[in-house]
Structure 1
Amino acid sequence: MKAKLLILKLLVAFLLCLTIIPGFSQPPNKMKVLAYYAGGVEGLDIYDVNQVTHLIFCLGRLDGNKFKVRTARDTAIIQKMVLLKKKNPQLKIILSLGGWGGCETCSIVFATKKGRQEFAQSIKAHHQYFGTDGLDLDWEYPTIPGFTGHKYGPHDKKNFTRLVQELRKIGTQYELSFAAGGFRQFLEEAVDWKKVMQQVDYVNLMTYDLISGYSKTTGHHTPLYSTPQQENSTDFAVKYLLKAGVPAEKLIVGAAFYGRVFENVPNVNNGLYQPGQFKTTINFKNIPTQLAPDSGFVYHWDNIAQAPYLYHPEKKLFFTYDDKRSLELKTKYVMDNRLGGIMFWQLAHDPYYNGLLNTIDLVKKNYTPALQSAE
């Protein structure tokens, strides 16, 4: 009887060990969900901040060599973001610099040691004043052409490396990231991936706008996979950087909470990969009213790109975007390939309830990743 009791106690102890030893337990999902936010103060109270890990303030600018929050409204937004930590104590609040059209003097300022040092110290001062947790550099773009009229040159590549090295000096307690173009030219030319990724915590891949406002043909602006007609995609960017030695856990893929409309698109292949001119953007939350099925737009799904699109055959309008189906697949892709997370531009484009963020959150909580790799 004593022998049986001893065996029972040993069995209970063994089962208890299985539940507490990390090697036997299922680790919690650490996937980052980063929300760029360029809306008003009032919207921050409506979205569920427990569904995101990071809120990124958009966007600060350069004032001379220093980082500047431009308006009292922007100050109020940052302060409100920091207060949201009461709802989600794990939430990180990130400042950002630049954006499309917002880095006119970056190439000039960051070309000097003084410029880089003064900028870094101004970022530290902002972190200390607001209680923010990090910086996202959104320089579009170092080294290669970006916004019309903005200076760029080959020297930007080394200076971008020097910039992140200088920013790292202000303290490892602050997160440091940058937004990167998801297209081949940026991946090949813009930054020194080996040196830069040693300094930053992660990179936010802008795997959207791959068909941009400058494009003269239609396509998918935020596809998951490449097609014979379109090389640039989320998968293309991820595989390129993994091959370049970037750790998977430092890769954050991008999703679009908006779409692009092209006009004068011939009724061939439902408008996909056809000549056309960019017309406008439409936020995801406005699609049901602006592009409703009864308005003549027809829904299509590309099984290769894993991306949706709409086409209006009478008006010859084409619309490329992310929807719940494509967001579910992108989020699963991130989890299957053990990537760092998913980000999106931008939260204010989402419906307040049951939108694309909710889709990401449901997948994160309920999906069991496959054992595979993007490599």
Structure 2
Amino acid sequence: MRGTFPRRLATVVTALTVLAAGTPVAAAQAAPSGAAQRDGFHRVGYFTQWGIYGRAFPVKKLDTSGAAARLTHINYAFGDVTADGLCASGDVWADYQRPVSAEESVDGVADAAGESLNGNFDQLRKLKAKHPGLRVLLSLGGWSWSTYFSDAARTPESRRAFVTSCVDRFVKGDLPVVGEVGGAGSAAGVFDGIDLDWEWPGSAGEPGNVVRPEDKQNFTALVAEFRRQLDGYGRVTRKHYELTAFLPANPAAMDAGFETRKIFKDLDFATVQGYDFHGTWEPVTNQQSALRRPAAAPDNPDFTVDRAIGGWLDRGAPRGKLVLGIPYYGQGWTGVTGGGNGLFQPATGPATGTWAPGNEDYKVLKNLPAQGYRVHRDLRSGHAWLFDGTTFWTYDDPVTVLQKTLYIRKERLGGAMVWSLDGDDDRATLTRTIAAGLRTR
């Protein structure tokens, strides 16, 4: 094991007690002014384009909750990789067509007829104006839209065409005209770089994904092509455009898809999957995001944060470029039998979730103790869960999030990433906790 639970418990226990009571450490601190990485850690949050619909999570909430003031980066999820190997908007209406009302606008000004940019993109531009130093990256692919990454990365010609389309559309801001919006330079200045979320080169992701044995080498070449074109445009604008990637926790996927030392020469940093270690695709309750293997875990070795980070370090990743992923949601089972605290017990299926079976946001889960659930935690292994005798949820609360910031500091990693910002509560409690835990002054 690379890390052990910090022995400075006398210092930490007070903070853990305060957090367990529901008060984030950062609540007593002044909000950071600007979001540059002045504290030495990246604080990255994924914003989902579809969050504006049922979840009612517009860009403005990043400002009013206090999250934007405590982040260094926002990854906008997602841009599509099309069947013809080009970049495209994942949802034109949400991205830049939808008129935003004054009540929902970051600056309180409604979109007017004849403007070339509306929607989330325009709101992100306004958010950046209000929070200088905040960087926004366009994240490509994700679980659902990685289908054709292999095709786009297959040859020098396909890579060149793909990267050019991404840089033109999102970095230069040359959006396709749709009605009155879009056009050359319409989204200029919104995005400060690209995040590659190919799940996964060389190994299976969503059923139907194109997978080739040569994906591993082609991903390296794709990263290099992005670096070349971003740097080329940066010489024109006199700006550095960032390039990041989302990396798996599974050692088999690491080996199948990534030439670690080579890709990190061109990446500014990479975020590492720190969640979905277990879930309702399995018939037994378990942890989904533990720091270390619980003593009674049925699997050995098991998927854990420490094993994921250790896997990338063993393969040559620079620790300062590894950013740990933290979930703002939980995985849940119901019909749990076997008694005890519910952990590692058989279940009949996924628990009921607001948006999907077996999945629930932190902002909902935090209220379950008032509804008969008991909070359990394993401080040494770094994970928490809720259990009411029948239904079980594994999740990250402020205590476990604070533990993970201590781990990031101890291991000298590059920072924290969260999926996704709409899972936090209206006070951005988890984001405030990350900011407090990673502050250096």
Q: Offset at 1:359?
A: 0.8
- Mapped partners of 1:176, 1:73: distance in 2: 24
Q: Say whether the 8 Å CA contact 2:293–2:381 is kept in structure 1.
A: yes
Which amino acid letter does the alignment assign opposite residue 106 of structure 1?
Answer: F
- Larger gyration radius, structure 1 or structure 2: 1
Structure 1 position 286 matched with structure 2 position 358 = no
Equivalent residue for 1:330?
Answer: 404
Q: Offset at 1:145?
A: 1.1
Q: Offset at 1:171?
A: 2.5
- Mapped partners of 1:179, 1:73: distance in 2: 23
In 2 relative to 1, CA 51–242 (structure 1 residues): closer, same or farther, beyond 3 Å? same
In 2 relative to 1, CA 303–268 (structure 1 residues): closer, same or farther, beyond 3 Å? farther
- Mapped partners of 1:54, 1:294: distance in 2: 34
Structure 1 position 345 matched with structure 2 position 419 = yes
- Mapped partners of 1:256, 1:232: distance in 2: 15
- Mapped partners of 1:342, 1:167: distance in 2: 24
Q: Say which is worse superposed, 92-101 or 264-273, in terms of deviation.
A: 264-273
Structure 1 position 59 matched with structure 2 position 91 = no
Q: Say which is worse superposed, 212-221 or 164-173, in terms of deviation.
A: 212-221
For residue 32 of structure 1, the aligned residue among 42, 60, 63 is 42
Q: State the percentage of identical aligned residues.
A: 28
Equivalent residue for 2:343?
Answer: 272
Equivalent residue for 2:430?
Answer: 356
Q: Which has the higher helix share?
A: 1
Equivalent residue for 2:223?
Answer: 164
Equivalent residue for 2:171?
Answer: 127
Q: Offset at 1:91?
A: 0.8
Q: Mapping of 1:230-309 within 5 angstroms?
A: 230=299, 231-276=302-347, 277-279=349-351, 280-289=358-367, 292-309=368-385
In 2 relative to 1, CA 115–216 (structure 1 residues): closer, same or farther, beyond 3 Å? farther
- Mapped partners of 2:401, 2:309: distance in 1: 16
Structure 1 position 113 matched with structure 2 position 113 = no
Helix, strand or coil: the match of 2:194? strand
In 2 relative to 1, CA 79–303 (structure 1 residues): closer, same or farther, beyond 3 Å? same
- Mapped partners of 1:208, 1:164: distance in 2: 24
Which amino acid letter does the alignment assign opposite residue 364 of structure 1?
Answer: L
Helix, strand or coil: the match of 2:211? coil
Which amino acid letter does the alignment assign opposite residue 210 of structure 1?
Answer: F
Equivalent residue for 2:65?
Answer: 47
- Mapped partners of 1:258, 1:341: distance in 2: 19
For residue 97 of structure 1, the aligned residue among 140, 145, 148 is 140
Which amino acid letter does the alignment assign opposite residue 93 of structure 1?
Answer: V
Gaps of 5+ in 2: 1-36, 53-57, 97-118, 174-186, 232-239, 352-357
- Mapped partners of 2:197, 2:69: distance in 1: 25
- Mapped partners of 1:204, 1:363: distance in 2: 18
Helix, strand or coil: the match of 1:37? strand
Q: TM-score, normalised by structure 2?
A: 0.72
Which structure's relative contact order is higher, taking Cα pairs within 8 Å and 6+ residues apart? Answer: 2
Q: Offset at 1:190?
A: 2.4
Q: Say which is worse superposed, 266-275 or 233-242, in terms of deviation.
A: 266-275
Q: Offset at 1:152?
A: 1.5
- Mapped partners of 2:257, 2:344: distance in 1: 27
Q: Offset at 1:269?
A: 4.3
Q: Offset at 1:206?
A: 1.1
Q: Offset at 1:165?
A: 1.1
In 2 relative to 1, CA 92–252 (structure 1 residues): closer, same or farther, beyond 3 Å? same
Q: TM-score, normalised by structure 1?
A: 0.85
Structure 1 position 196 matched with structure 2 position 263 = yes
Structure 1 position 147 matched with structure 2 position 206 = yes
Helix, strand or coil: the match of 2:218? helix
Equivalent residue for 1:205?
Answer: 272
- Mapped partners of 2:338, 2:162: distance in 1: 51
Gaps of 5+ in 1: 1-26, 369-375
Q: Say which is worse superposed, 158-167 or 40-49, in terms of deviation.
A: 40-49
Helix, strand or coil: the match of 2:120? helix
- Mapped partners of 1:45, 1:74: distance in 2: 18
- How many residue pairs match? The answer is 337
Q: Say whether the 8 Å CA contact 2:202–2:257 is kept in structure 1.
A: yes
- Mapped partners of 2:436, 2:410: distance in 1: 15
- Mapped partners of 1:168, 1:268: distance in 2: 54
- Mapped partners of 2:156, 2:272: distance in 1: 27
Which amino acid letter does the alignment assign opposite residue 427 of structure 2?
Answer: Y
In 2 relative to 1, CA 28–151 (structure 1 residues): closer, same or farther, beyond 3 Å? closer
Helix, strand or coil: the match of 1:57? strand
Q: Offset at 1:112?
A: 2.7
Q: Say whether the 8 Å CA contact 1:183–1:233 is kept in structure 2.
A: no
In 2 relative to 1, CA 335–87 (structure 1 residues): closer, same or farther, beyond 3 Å? farther
- 1:159-213 Cα offsets, whole Å, 9 max, x none, are 1111111111112321111111112222332211121111111111011111134
Question: Over aligned residues, Cα RMSD in angstroms?
Answer: 1.9
